[in-house]
Amino acid sequence: MPIFVNLLPIGMNDQQLVKNCLKGKREAQHLLYEQHAEYMLGVCYRYTKSMSDAEDVLQEGFIKVFKNLHQYKSDGELGAWIRRIMVNTAINFLKQQSRTRVDLSFSETSLHPVATDNPEVSMSVKELAELIRQLPTGYQTIFNLHAVEGYTHVEIGELLGIHEGTSRSQYARARALLVSWIKKNVVEQKTAVYAKSRL
Q: Do both 34 and 110 map to the same domain?
A: no
Q: Do both 48 and 110 map to the same domain?
A: no
Q: Do both 5 and 77 map to the same domain?
A: yes
Amino acid (one-letter) located at 25: K
In this prediction, residues 165-179 reach a mean pLDDT of: 93
Confidence (pLDDT) at 182: 86
The boundaries of the domain holding residue 171 are 99-199
- DSSP per position, 139-179: HHHHHIIIIIS---HHHHHHHHTS-HHHHHHHHHHHHHHHH
Amino acid (one-letter) located at 52: S
Q: How much of the chain exceeds pLDDT 70, in percent?
A: 74
Helix axes 78-96, 14-22, angle to 10 degrees: 60
Q: How many CB atoms lie within 10 A of CB 182?
A: 17
Q: Do both 123 and 192 map to the same domain?
A: yes
Confidence (pLDDT) at 115: 37
Confidence (pLDDT) at 165: 94
Confidence (pLDDT) at 119: 42
In this predicted structure, the answer to whether residue 171 has a pLDDT above a threshold of 50 is yes
Q: Do both 41 and 110 map to the same domain?
A: no
Confidence (pLDDT) at 197: 58
Q: Do both 186 and 139 map to the same domain?
A: yes
Q: Is 28 helix (H, G, I), strand (E, B) or coil?
A: helix
pLDDT tens digits, 17-42: 999 999 999 999 999 999 999 999 99
Q: Do both 87 and 105 map to the same domain?
A: no
In this predicted structure, the answer to whether residue 104 has a pLDDT above a threshold of 50 is yes
Q: Do both 146 and 56 map to the same domain?
A: no
In this prediction, residues 53-75 reach a mean pLDDT of: 94
- Domain final position from 73, 96, 119: 96
CATH code (residue 190): 1.10.10.10
Q: How many CB atoms lie within 10 A of CB 50?
A: 10
5/178: higher pLDDT: 178
- Domain final position from 96, 130, 164: 96
Instruction: Please give the Cα distance from 12 to 142 (Å, whole number).
Output: 37
Residue 158's pLDDT band (boundaries 50, 70, 90)?
A: very high
Instruction: Please give the Cα distance from 19 to 21 (Å, whole number).
Output: 5
Contact 179, 117 (CB under 8 A): yes
Predicted model pTM: 0.74
Among 109, 101, 176, which residue's Cα sits nearest to residue 143? Answer: 176
Contacts 24+ apart (CB under 8 A), 164-169: 166/106, 167/142, 169/108, 169/111, 169/114
In this prediction, residues 159-172 reach a mean pLDDT of: 93
In this prediction, residues 70-84 reach a mean pLDDT of: 91
- Domains contained in the chain, number: 2
Q: Do both 33 and 5 map to the same domain?
A: yes
Confidence (pLDDT) at 199: 57
| Chain centroid to CA 74 | 24
Instruction: Please give the Cα distance from 21 to 144 (Å, whole number).
Output: 31
Q: Do both 135 and 177 map to the same domain?
A: yes
In this predicted structure, the answer to whether residue 151 has a pLDDT above a threshold of 50 is yes
Q: How much of the chain exceeds pLDDT 90, in percent?
A: 54
- Domain final position from 63, 96, 129: 96
Q: Do both 4 and 47 map to the same domain?
A: yes
